Amino acid sequence: MLDLTGVTTALITPFNGDNKVDTRALAGLVEAQLAAGVHGLLACGTTGETPTLTDDEYALVVRTVVEAAGGRAPVLAGTGTNCTRTTIERTRKAGELGADAALVVAPYYNKPQQRGMVRHFSDVAREGGLPVVVYNVPSRTGINIEPRTSITLAAVDGIVAVKEASGSVEAVKTIAEAVATDFTVLSGDDAKSLEFYKVGARGVISVASNVAPGLVVKLWDLWKAGELDGAAALDRSLAPLFEALFVEPNPVPCKAAAMMLGICKDTVRLPLVQASSETRDLMAGVLEKLHLV
């Protein structure tokens, strides 16, 4: 049975100096994540700059992550688009590439009704061939998946989890209290993860774990062990990192940090541009304070 609890890293997609996918760096990142104890890996999410990848590059990234993971942790692939048919096709492709589940973002730009989203996600779950994790991130999509809609989707065969990145503790609490125990509510926001754990979330899909996987896993482990004071203290110490990672659009600061840690180059693809000198200075200070550099 697919287990999505704990820390899943929303992987950056490393690019080399020629702006091509750096598969060696990506495989190395996967290995470092697993060595640090992360429980899952997400390829081609928002953090992976998926909108800028060609179809061939998308396949290359998912295949590289699947092969590097070697069955040691579940691999999710971001497959969501704002076209239901295209999302189904991409979900099928991710399954062919070896992904264990699909992360499907709410359709952006179209701004569908709640009942339209129920149809969208249900069709993907029925026809896509992979377990579906619903992804609610209204700051990027322009549409919020209401808690009642997530609760409805939780009863659909093949929909196994929701990544909740609306920032609403109340939404997480409402969903977690209403769904069956085999449906997983996940935090989509590092800065809110501990708060979300307290009201029923059973893990996080994390950006911060790209650069501090051991600390993000430790936060989960402390919470799981009931060491609430230790979890709260670690959460406070990580707060500057969580904040710094979003002073510019994700994954720009994350890639700046990854370069400082020797993970990969800080290359991002247009329309994103590399981090400003101010962001680099901020990130360097945060990493040093956490003893990561």
Residues taking part in catalysis? 135, 163
According to DSSP, the residues that pair with 203 across neighbouring strands are 6
H helices of the chain, where? 23-35, 55-69, 84-96, 114-127, 138-141, 147-154, 169-178, 193-198, 213-224, 228-244, 252-260, 277-289
Q: Would you put residue 216 in left (φ > 0), alpha (ψ -120 to 50) or beta?
A: alpha
CB–CB of 58/44 below 8 Å? yes
Question: What are the angstrom distances between the C-alpha of 112 and each of 81, 107, 142, 175, 208?
Answer: 13, 7, 10, 21, 31
Question: What are the angstrom distances between the C-alpha of 264 and each of 22, 60, 62, 133, 268?
Answer: 8, 17, 18, 28, 11
